[in-house]
Structure 1
């Protein structure tokens, strides 16, 4: 073999690439990198509310900051870490794939791991027959829109008020929150908003026979809004009556979050499609999936020349499929669905007791480990005046007066359920235990009790946040 000219021989002087060293060397630049090259506003938010502690590691339900302090995570990455962070079973599965030299994403072949994962997922919804894999929850929503339109020959898609289905074009078109929609122009034609929990309104909307699908979260994530006991059964009946597909968005509620594998099991319904993502990833490799009836699937993939009519380049990747299989194994082996039901029932009891003791606590709702703590206008004059002052500046600002001291003083990471919302949402990893529940209950009780003292530290913080909000508004 001819040798390369000496001036083109690769140099060996470059040190080996090491992510650990790179992280250690650039940790000091954590916020400046994002300010300069990415989302500066997110950095400003973290610094304003005191969340800029620089998390360095995570294990299970716990996070550790740059000083080594331990925090209890009640956000779980917006529901991604259902089985907790860095679970050894998932990590070992991913290492096994990386060490096996598998012929990943050949495209002109089919994946064994994808077939096994599809088979496993369908055991949780035996009335469905086929699985389409995607890379995220939003991509799963986009796929559902296409499948619904193709299988029904209809263009319109109905969605519920207060909904959240994602931020890509089609998914955003089915997301009701104006904060996410504003500024992005005209969204998908044929998207129809229907009041949540209103069966009569849904019946009227579908009566035109133009609606391909109605997509709904069994429990709405942005405010933990609960359906009435008859709502989802009514949705199923009305959809079947008008030939509209019933699509359950279980992207956040699925895989045990509510104390059942799928939230729809609480109401005994069998939708035409179920959308999942988030926790199926094991927290490592993004994945989404649409479980559906055969007749829907085969309307899209109905001939050999249409075998690739819809897909996604990285869907069915071996790492994602392995992560999904390992996640299901952990959920079953550790009885995380049962644990979510048990720990959730305990927390609901405790929070309901707080609602009886504290006038600022208006309502507690949820199932399993998806819990909303709603605050509302107090009765006593001093509290009512302080509350009204904050609300005049920024709707929902009061909830930050609870989340910030819970984080800073009690090391519990939690946030509000959405902009302009009076609900704090708890979606912790499903592996939390009784000791963690003690921690949660103690922290909330202390901070809520302090919020009933006017003047007090909480309301001093409120004035500071109000000043920030006024300045930001003036700047804008």
Structure 2
């Protein structure tokens, strides 16, 4: 694959990070340097990233939480974006309907995990989709509280920020945001706690099919209980597939593993192909009609649902829903799990095992103190991991591109071998 050359000849990674510290978002630069090396992205291709000096190459096992689930600059998605631009398209006008929006809405409905999710609102990012889902739930129920998992993540502004309660990543206290609209489930999967918290003042329960902090998948009994309790108590059940959808678990949606029928579903990040912002919230028709069609200006977005974003999202859905693509995800996830398990077996005093849900993978640790050192060692060995779990069980989290090959899976396992050997020779 050919690429235009990125000209960074006059700048270095260290220079750019220094400038961020001096006059921009210092914490972001500090997080990058905490990985153990100055690294700013230059060239990118598939599962690989190079620094702007062109000297270091790493495998991206973070993918921005799934933004680059199809790898970087996927050729088919890139071609769809280029064609949209070459055909003379731009973002259009929000006030003028476009055919591409209808086609994407129909495609989402045909691929949804439940036939009832027949309508959708197209936005620019998952945070906005969570905002819309929460507002719609408020209207449908006449209530103004949402329940979410304490260590989940749904966004950093608006109603999305209100349902992100993590002590590490949440910002409600930092910005003095109102707290009367939120309630949090402290233990992911705890049906008794869920039953206690889903009271008659709750408008919506929003949850991911995984514990975002540990990456462990939900149990069938937990999601079944959530569905039943929400239906019985008139609560809107929102499943957030921002990270788990688009083939990540070996099926197009993680919800398919559970045969879920939520009232709304959020998708995003990877829907952009890592090239053009787009997200969507799917919903039942009665929710769509009551919320969007009973007010002349029920939802306005200058750029949401524009032609280019819809064409890019349609291509991502086409690629991600191919049976051979989903088979590949399942097969390579098994291969990676087996190799990582072998490494764990060789270092049982530090690594206790591997948990996976497709290509949502954790290497569980015997000692929390080793987590950040292992993360840095992996980066030094050429693999950018997603993160380290902040709660029990301690683990190193991997979120690789779904186009990962068996050869690249071996490279990740080899990097773990070297990374842990530096701690446990």
| Contact kept? 1:130, 1:293, Cα under 8 Å | yes
| Contact kept? 1:134, 1:311, Cα under 8 Å | no
Displacement of 1:240: 1.0
Cα displacement string for residues 265-308 of structure 1 (whole angstroms, at most 9, x for unaligned residues) = 111111111101000001011111100001111111233xx132
> What is the TM-score of this pair, normalised by structure 2?
0.90
| Contact kept? 1:226, 1:365, Cα under 8 Å | no
Q: 2 CA distance for matches of 1:119 and 1:129?
A: 8
Displacement of 1:132: 0.6
| Contact kept? 1:344, 1:368, Cα under 8 Å | yes
Indicate yes or no: 2:338 matched with 1:366.
no
Q: Which has the higher contact order (CA 8 A, sep 6+)?
A: 2
Structure 2 counterpart of 1:255? 246
Structure 2 counterpart of 1:10? none
Q: 1 CA distance for matches of 2:423 and 2:270?
A: 34
Report the more deviating stretch, 284-293 or 156-165. Answer: 156-165
Determine which of 59, 75, 85 is the counterpart of 1:88: 75
Structure 2 counterpart of 1:242? 233
1:363 to 1:185, Cα distance in 2 relative to 1, 3 A? farther
Q: 2 CA distance for matches of 1:411 and 1:354?
A: 17
Structure 2 counterpart of 1:432? 404
| Contact kept? 2:93, 2:302, Cα under 8 Å | no
Structure 2 counterpart of 1:52? 38
- 1:197-212 maps to which residues of 2 (within 5 A)? 197-206=189-198, 208-212=199-203
Q: 2 CA distance for matches of 1:41 and 1:272?
A: 37
Q: 2 CA distance for matches of 1:329 and 1:25?
A: 40
Determine which of 268, 281, 288 is the counterpart of 1:290: 281
**CA RMSD, Structure 1 to Structure 2 (Å):** 2.3
Cα displacement string for residues 224-266 of structure 1 (whole angstroms, at most 9, x for unaligned residues) = 1332231111211111111111110100111011111111111
Indicate yes or no: 2:122 matched with 1:133.
yes
| Contact kept? 2:100, 2:307, Cα under 8 Å | yes
Determine which of 416, 436, 441 is the counterpart of 2:387: 416
Displacement of 1:451: 2.2
1:25 to 1:191, Cα distance in 2 relative to 1, 3 A? same
Cα displacement string for residues 190-214 of structure 1 (whole angstroms, at most 9, x for unaligned residues) = 31112321112222222x3221111
Determine which of 167, 170, 174 is the counterpart of 1:183: 174
Q: 1 CA distance for matches of 2:319 and 2:406?
A: 19
Displacement of 1:174: 1.0
Q: 3-state SS of the aligned residue for 2:43?
A: strand
Q: 1 CA distance for matches of 2:178 and 2:25?
A: 24
Indicate yes or no: 2:206 matched with 1:215.
yes
**How many pairs are equivalent?**
413
> What is the TM-score of this pair, normalised by structure 1?
0.81
Q: 1 CA distance for matches of 2:214 and 2:95?
A: 44
Cα displacement string for residues 107-139 of structure 1 (whole angstroms, at most 9, x for unaligned residues) = 232111111111111112222110011111111
Displacement of 1:313: 1.6
Q: 1 CA distance for matches of 2:403 and 2:215?
A: 20
Indicate yes or no: 2:370 matched with 1:398.
yes
Q: 1 CA distance for matches of 2:129 and 2:388?
A: 22
The structure whose residues are more often helix, as a share, is 1
| Contact kept? 1:63, 1:71, Cα under 8 Å | yes
Displacement of 1:48: 4.3
Q: 1 CA distance for matches of 2:280 and 2:302?
A: 14
Q: 3-state SS of the aligned residue for 1:49?
A: coil
Q: 3-state SS of the aligned residue for 2:203?
A: strand
Unaligned runs of 5+ in 1: 1-18, 378-395, 454-476
Greater gyration radius: 1
Q: 1 CA distance for matches of 2:321 and 2:241?
A: 18
